[in-house]
Structure 1
């Protein structure tokens, strides 16, 4: 459709140009004295006006800038009125010549009065033009002083123009009055309005209009000036041929208007940005006016005596010198002002750049914490429900440490792009530093935000190609509702609590804030402080639960279990303080202490009782410890410090700790290379037990208590226990049955093929001395049996 409009618009330009060329050829023949009919002039000037009006009406599409569309439709009405005025004038000429064979040069030489209706229509057209110009918005914001200078320049221009119009035309009232009878004043008014319109067009073109294309506006200024000038030259043209005076302004003016409309059409009617300041061209207008009047003075003085011409020449030379001096000063001022403008623009650009840098992350281009908190405050001030989301990338530190910061930065940029793609344009995506991102979702409650969080989690699960590597990155996400009485810091704190709740639930999840998280946070904060003090004060100690042989119950090793005796609270249950240690991160120093203490105690047993019995001590390792860089080195250091050999140590991990956790698997592989055994604890209750057996360096399966409880009562439990044993034997793994509490379970497990077990049936967790005594007794028993 746009191609059709382009073709039609171009045809209008071609048609208007052709008709104008025909008219100009007629005018040239007419001036040359050829007997060409006046009907040809009107036959060309009237259609060209209609075409110009249609071009203005179609210059701007319906969906363009409203001010542009309004202006060009006003221009179409103005041009249409000019065409109607020309038609009424043509009618008067034709009627006056009615009855003659042809309106030849002789016949048309008779004077024809301009109808009152024609003058009225022309005046309406020019008033419509003034109205269109007044409603046209300008890019330039003029100060009071600038407006004063502009009015003064306009007055000078109008005065100078009036002088020349008077000299060339209006002083011939005697000649002109015979042609237009008593309507001299209305005619002069119409001509004056034309000059004012031309000057107004030029003013807007120089200042810049936001709605209209600047080159199109300049063409309109030329069109108005041509129309006014040819109208003012009417008496002079009437002396050549009256028909030329009546028609000369219509065709060129209409052609210029058509070209302006076509230029606007090609500019698509788009508003023009005010990127450059308006030029200071009007500074020279008054001096040009003075020069023009001086030139006119010289011409008129040349027709008088020598004294007048000498005085006129002196006045002109003095004026020229003063004007030259003033123009030189103004030129220098203009250069200085241009330099000042350039400096100001440079400072403004620098300030804008600094302001952007102060509110945006330099790596990703996202909003930073400062801008995010500002927008959260703005959202909180409104009544619209919003939500704040905090995103932490899982295991990003491992990627950063192992692959380098360049790869880590590229990964962060890719994550930022995916986050942007998951939200709306009016949502705010921010990076707080490191691997922590935040979202502000205006108009979306925390409940409704779940769909967005699912979309984000799905987007981040896809591999990210960075530096030739396909990296997997998970995320833990927390979301909180924004409320008017909460500041940004409190909202981020709540989202942070929810995010850590998601992370402690196994990572790769999202959680919503509720009041219970505050209660747990307060408990964890107090518990964390107490745990730190307990580590410093040595309030922790280890107990050891025996791992025994079936069916006789002879100790074959032990599992180290940590206990805490609080100074005021007494014995704190392990499930309470271990969970708090996980959430607060204190599980890392606590786990390190447990590992070193278990190795130290086992080394004491070994030195006291010898190495005749092949027992092992098991130490539970948390998922958080496995994610620590260099954890295998910590195990090696604990063995070195204690003097315990690697074959006496077993690290026990849960399936959850290693499920889809590449760094954890790598750490266990390194530990296995040390000669330390790896036991998969609570086997059968995790995510994907069989898959883990193929990817994780496991030596021992510890079958969870939940599968032992039903033995020997339920046959299903026996079937599962048997299947696990067969899997372990097929993979050449050892097995330990956990949670054995009855003699019947012992007998049934032995009957199924289990040879190692642990549980309260054999012994509760024992102090180190008692456990050592049992291992020593087992060694003595073995020695006696061997003897």
Structure 2
């Protein structure tokens, strides 16, 4: 069997049943020809091919009904055809009995049993065909009305012709009207049966093959009509009938139809184009007009003239109506084309309303709907997991490389997410660089394995518009619980995702109650932080940076402290991350900068050259990404009158590792004259390339490399390497967290000239700094 844009059925191949049907038809023709002048064989032999051919057709119909892939309606039609063949066999047996027992002059009542069998056969056929449902109820009603009208037209036309031919052209029944009536009835029923097949074909109902139905329609028309007209048109001997030849011929069509249906079973039925009108009424009118002209010609000039005029008027009316119907059909086809186009637009709009334009993943609306449906359908004991995925530092890629590269990256990420999950799981783009997953039937451990697989797939370099990019993602997972709602499931996954971000990039976290408590505490602390800033509960302290080996002050690093009225002292490691997540680090950082600059300006005015040479202020990654941060620093310097060259902005290497706006902000600060220090160097995304791209002047070596420097060689090796790097790059190196004299001595021996830590001084309040400045001189840097 071949397939293509349209349905194709394998070519007709001779089958045993088809060969047998052809042989039976050939035998019937030979027998009829042998006995046409005189009866040379027994009468029963002339009817035997009809009986055998009908039996073959019945078996072929039963086989077609048993074909796999048929719908119930089509199967019922072909089984009914088997019953029809059985009834025809009974009718032919009756004809055979008449031909053998009384071939010369059978009584009209003798035809009744056989006529009843034939009539029942047609009625069963009509009943089966007319019970076939039609997809569109309104369309079905219209088709049924048209069928009834066409059937009436055909029936009346057939009756007129048969009666005329029987009474005027020939007298084959010796003016025995009783014998003519069954033949007229059978011919009318046969043509009506043809219409029934055509009705099923054009209605597009059921799964019957259209070619098979056309073959059946031809069988019904040719068989019954030919059998009825044969004795009218040809002289036949007593005991002979056209049925002896036309029944095998008819059933050959039936076998062909059954074979076609069997080969086409289970294949999709193409939709048939709507017809603008039916040709049946016009054919009937044309045939009747021809008969009218024949009768009029025989009747004389006047009658013929009137008949000719009526025929011409009828022809003009038909032509006008057909032209109008054709125009209506053309307009309907245009309307259909417009409706198809509108449906296409509607489908596109529906798709765009539910799917993301860029990645073609489900959007947030569809994802929430599918989550709701999954929760409604879940049964006790089943599991459902929801994961939220947020790409780390995606904004940096957009800012540095442009949105086109960012979009190309999102497309690749979407494809990798599809490949990482199973069929039936849901992948969605919820907006920006945030994706959602709906995982069915996975336990906690299995779900985290999926997340590990996703994280691993994302770590492979992504080639986007000529750029090779590395992607990390923070993933949060929440699992279903009784009475879970889509909104709460999403909220828990979101909470877990932010917990993963806090633990570092490229990680995932699973929701638990502890995260809920932490969030509540963070939310409460965030609200209190805003209030503390308004109430002036924050204070600044300053830790000296000294020169080695003497320990003279060279500059101060600004540190913030918060003494809560109820909780007491809250460390920066607690409230600074909350301030960054809530965005309050921006106003808090602005307050720190202005307060420190004002204090440093006051010390310069009071102590002159004895004031600290520089003041260092820590700036977060969030502040660096704020538009206009460099302009805010310029305004603060102008308002306080502080020298820009004595301000040191301290940033972590993580804040500027990915470049983008943060790096551009640092470049703008350098333009102002501000110095840049890389804080906690070595603990984040350490890269020598960063030292080339970041406009740093100072490198602050993290405390973790200073601890134990006097007792273990590893720290000494790292510390030595760093001082060599800073010397080679002409950077100032400052060792942090020096707590013992031994550490200070070792650092000096390794080449360090600046340090800070508790060994030299703890952070001091502004008053303590002023006291120290009064008591001793401070050497310039």
Q: Counterparts of 1:361 and 1:81 in 2: how far apart (Å)? A: 62
Which residue number in structure 2 is paired with residue 767 of structure 1? 765
2:398 to 394, 397, 400: 400
Which residue number in structure 1 is paired with residue 464 of structure 2? 466
Which residue number in structure 1 is paired with residue 227 of structure 2? 231
Q: Are the counterparts in 2 of residues 548 and 758 from structure 1 also a CA contact under 8 Å?
A: yes
Which residue number in structure 2 is paired with residue 102 of structure 1? none
- Deviation string, structure 1 residues 142-175 (Cα, Å, up to 9, x no partner): 3685234443333333333344345456999974
Shift in CA distance, 176/508, structure 1 to aligned 2, threshold 3 Å: farther
What is the deviation of 1:545? 1.5
What is the deviation of 1:372? 3.4
Q: Counterparts of 1:131 and 1:144 in 2: how far apart (Å)? A: 16
Trace 1:5-20 onto structure 2 (pairs within 5 A).
9-12=11-14
Deviates more, 1:38-47 or 1:458-467: 38-47
Which residue number in structure 2 is paired with residue 160 of structure 1? 157
What is the deviation of 1:326? 6.2
Shift in CA distance, 236/140, structure 1 to aligned 2, threshold 3 Å: farther
2:719 to 717, 725, 732: 725
Q: Counterparts of 1:427 and 1:275 in 2: how far apart (Å)? A: 38
Which residue number in structure 2 is paired with residue 501 of structure 1? 499
- Deviation string, structure 1 residues 304-341 (Cα, Å, up to 9, x no partner): 46676567567656766776676677667666666665
Unaligned residue ranges in structure 1 (runs of 5+): 98-107
What is the deviation of 1:652? 4.0
Q: Counterparts of 1:742 and 1:390 in 2: how far apart (Å)? A: 47
Q: Counterparts of 1:560 and 1:35 in 2: how far apart (Å)? A: 132
- Return the TM-score normalized by structure 1: 0.75
What is the deviation of 1:766? 1.1
Q: Are the counterparts in 2 of residues 618 and 652 from structure 1 also a CA contact under 8 Å?
A: no
What is the deviation of 1:246? 1.4
Deviates more, 1:574-583 or 1:158-167: 158-167
What is the deviation of 1:344? 5.4
Q: Counterparts of 1:589 and 1:60 in 2: how far apart (Å)? A: 81
Q: Counterparts of 2:260 and 2:742 in 1: how far apart (Å)? A: 100
**Secondary structure of 2:554's partner?**
strand
Shift in CA distance, 452/26, structure 1 to aligned 2, threshold 3 Å: same
Q: Counterparts of 2:662 and 2:54 in 1: how far apart (Å)? A: 85
Q: Are the counterparts in 2 of residues 60 and 68 from structure 1 also a CA contact under 8 Å?
A: no
- Deviation string, structure 1 residues 459-489 (Cα, Å, up to 9, x no partner): 4333443333333443333333456745544
- Deviation string, structure 1 residues 632-682 (Cα, Å, up to 9, x no partner): 78777777776445576252415x5567x4549956984897673433417
What is the deviation of 1:544? 1.2
Q: Are the counterparts in 2 of residues 498 and 513 from structure 1 also a CA contact under 8 Å?
A: yes
Q: Counterparts of 2:482 and 2:291 in 1: how far apart (Å)? A: 75
Q: Counterparts of 1:588 and 1:730 in 2: how far apart (Å)? A: 36
Trace 1:654-733 onto structure 2 (pairs within 5 A).
657=655, 661=658, 663=660, 666=663, 670=667, 676-681=675-680, 683=682, 686=684, 702=700, 704-705=702-703, 715=711, 718-732=712-726
What is the deviation of 1:437? 3.2
1:381 to 349, 373, 376: 376
What is the deviation of 1:202? 0.3
Shift in CA distance, 37/693, structure 1 to aligned 2, threshold 3 Å: farther
Deviates more, 1:564-573 or 1:203-212: 564-573
Which residue number in structure 2 is paired with residue 586 of structure 1? 584
What is the deviation of 1:726? 2.1
What is the deviation of 1:129? 5.2
What's the Cα RMSD here?
A: 5.6
**2:256 counterpart of 1:258:** yes
Which residue number in structure 1 is paired with residue 75 of structure 2? 70
What is the deviation of 1:199? 1.4
**Secondary structure of 2:193's partner?**
helix
Trace 1:238-637 onto structure 2 (pairs within 5 A).
239=235, 242=240, 245-251=243-249, 254-255=252-253, 258=256, 262=260, 265=263, 269-272=266-269, 274=271, 278-282=274-278, 285-304=280-299, 348-384=343-379, 385-424=383-422, 426-441=424-439, 448-481=446-479, 485=483, 487-535=485-533, 539-550=537-548, 552-565=550-563, 571-595=569-593, 597-598=595-596, 601-602=599-600, 605=603, 616-625=614-623
Shift in CA distance, 35/610, structure 1 to aligned 2, threshold 3 Å: farther
Shift in CA distance, 637/157, structure 1 to aligned 2, threshold 3 Å: farther
**Secondary structure of 2:208's partner?**
coil
Which residue number in structure 2 is paired with residue 198 of structure 1? 194
What is the deviation of 1:203? 0.6
Q: Counterparts of 1:679 and 1:350 in 2: how far apart (Å)? A: 56
Deviates more, 1:582-591 or 1:748-757: 748-757
- Deviation string, structure 1 residues 280-313 (Cα, Å, up to 9, x no partner): 434x644543443344344345444667656756
Q: Are the counterparts in 1 of residues 216 and 253 from structure 2 also a CA contact under 8 Å?
A: no
Which residue number in structure 2 is paired with residue 104 of structure 1? none
Q: Counterparts of 1:36 and 1:691 in 2: how far apart (Å)? A: 113
Shift in CA distance, 263/42, structure 1 to aligned 2, threshold 3 Å: same
Q: Are the counterparts in 2 of residues 50 and 79 from structure 1 also a CA contact under 8 Å?
A: no
Shift in CA distance, 270/506, structure 1 to aligned 2, threshold 3 Å: same
What is the deviation of 1:580? 1.0
**Secondary structure of 1:247's partner?**
helix
- Deviation string, structure 1 residues 34-71 (Cα, Å, up to 9, x no partner): 99999999999978996997699589984x46459837
Q: Counterparts of 2:627 and 2:297 in 1: how far apart (Å)? A: 102
Q: Counterparts of 2:13 and 2:397 in 1: how far apart (Å)? A: 65
- Deviation string, structure 1 residues 167-223 (Cα, Å, up to 9, x no partner): 4569999746999x9999888776665434321210122111352344554344334
Q: Counterparts of 1:552 and 1:133 in 2: how far apart (Å)? A: 111
Unaligned residue ranges in structure 2 (runs of 5+): none
Q: Counterparts of 2:477 and 2:9 in 1: how far apart (Å)? A: 57
**Secondary structure of 2:137's partner?**
coil
Shift in CA distance, 91/729, structure 1 to aligned 2, threshold 3 Å: farther
What is the deviation of 1:561? 1.0
Q: Are the counterparts in 2 of residues 198 and 222 from structure 1 also a CA contact under 8 Å?
A: yes
- Return the TM-score normalized by structure 2: 0.75
